[in-house]
């Protein structure tokens, strides 16, 4: 299935080669989770990162259990603190 992945901060470097900007369409296995996607692109799987699917935040405790669906929009933002 396919999902759209939007990254934040330094994580854009983990998107597939040739990606322009911070958004890429990815082919992922059926039944995968947000953390599965993070592992697939080789990015840090820090539990404090923010993951949003279709406009709603996924709690960190569900990063590896929330099942993604074909066509989902997922955002993956770094574990930043400060401001």
Partner 1 sequence: MAWANNVLRVNLTKGTCISEPLNMEWAEAYMGERGLGTKYLWENMDPQADPLGPDNVLIFATGPLTGTMAPTSGRYAVLCKGPLTGAIACSNSGGKFGAELKFAGYDLVLIEGRSESPVYLNIVDDKVELLAATDIWGTTVWHTEAWIKKTHNDPLIRVASCGEAGENLCRYACIVNDLHRAAGRSGVGAVMGSKNLKAISVRGTKGVTATHPEKFMDVVHECHRVLAESEGRKALTELGTNDMIDMMQEFGGLPTRNFDDVQFAGTDKINPSAMFEVKANGHRNMVTNKACFGCTIACGRIAHIDENHFSIVNKPEYRMASGGLEYETAYAFGPLLGVDDIDALTYAGYMTNEHGYDPISFGGTLAAAMELYEMGVITDADTDGVALNFGSAEALTIMSEKTGKGEGFGKILAMGSRLMCEKYGHPEIAMHVKGQEFAGYDSRVLQGMGLGYATSNRGACHLKHAVFDEDMEDISGNGKAEPCKTSQDHVAAMDSTGLCLFVEGAGMNIGHFVDLLSADLPTSWSQERMMETGERVWNLERRFNLAAGLTAADDTLPKRLLEVPAPSGSGKGKVSELAQMLPEYYKARGWTEDGRLTNELIERLGL
* Of the candidate residues 16, 29, 71, 79, the single one contacting partner 1 (CB under 8 A): 79
Q: What angle do CA 34, 24, 55 make, to 5 degrees?
A: 50
Identify the CA nearest to 76 among candidates 43, 32, 30, 27. Answer: 43
Q: How far is the CB of 48 from partner 1 (least distance, A)?
A: 6
Residue 32 tokens, joined: 């995968």
Count of residues near partner 1 by CB under 8 A: 24
Q: How far is CA 28 from the centre of its chain?
A: 11
**Binding status of residue 78 toward partner 1 by CB under 8 A:** yes
Select from 4, 25, 46, 71 the one that contacts partner 1 (CB under 8 A).
46
Cα separation, 70 vs 83, in Å, equals 35
Residues binding partner 1 (CB under 8 A):
6, 8-10, 22, 44, 46, 48, 50, 52, 55-57, 59-61, 75, 77-83
């Amino acid at each position: 299935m396919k999902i759209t992945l939007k990254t934040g901060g330094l994580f854009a470097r983990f998107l597939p080669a040739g990606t322009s900007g911070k958004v890429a369409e990815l082919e992922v296995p059926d039944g995968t989770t947000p953390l599965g996607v993070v592992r697939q692109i080789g990015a840090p799987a820090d539990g404090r990162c923010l993951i949003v699917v279709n406009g709603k935040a996924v709690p960190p405790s569900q990063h590896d259990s929330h099942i993604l669906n074909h066509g989902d929009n997922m955002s993956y933002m770094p574990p930043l603190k400060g401001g």
